[in-house]
Amino acid sequence: MSRRRYPPEYKRDAVQLVQQSTSSVKEIADNLGLNVNMLRRWVKELN
């Protein structure tokens, strides 16, 4: 099984959701079908 690649725009949009939402990172990751640790890493990398 190969890794899924996400375009930079998708990552940026997901990080914006985290920054602008009152929901937890886990809730957002679950809603987007992402691993919570991957989303947390994107937030760190893009800030």
1-47 pLDDT, tens digit each: 678 899 999 999 999 999 999 999 999 999 999 999 999 999 999 98
Q: What is the pLDDT of residue 7?
A: 97
Contacts of 19 (CB under 8 A, 6+ apart): 43
Q: Are 42 and 11 in contact (CB under 8 A)?
A: yes
Q: What is the pLDDT of residue 3?
A: 84
Q: What is the pLDDT of residue 5?
A: 94
Q: What is the pLDDT of residue 11?
A: 98
**4-37 burial by CB neighbour count: b if 16+ within 10 A, else e?**
eeeeeeebeebbebbeeeeeebeebbeeeebeee
CA dist 38 and 44 (Å) reads 10
Task: Give the pair of three-digit tokens for residue 21.
Answer: 């939402």
What pTM does this model have?
Answer: 0.89
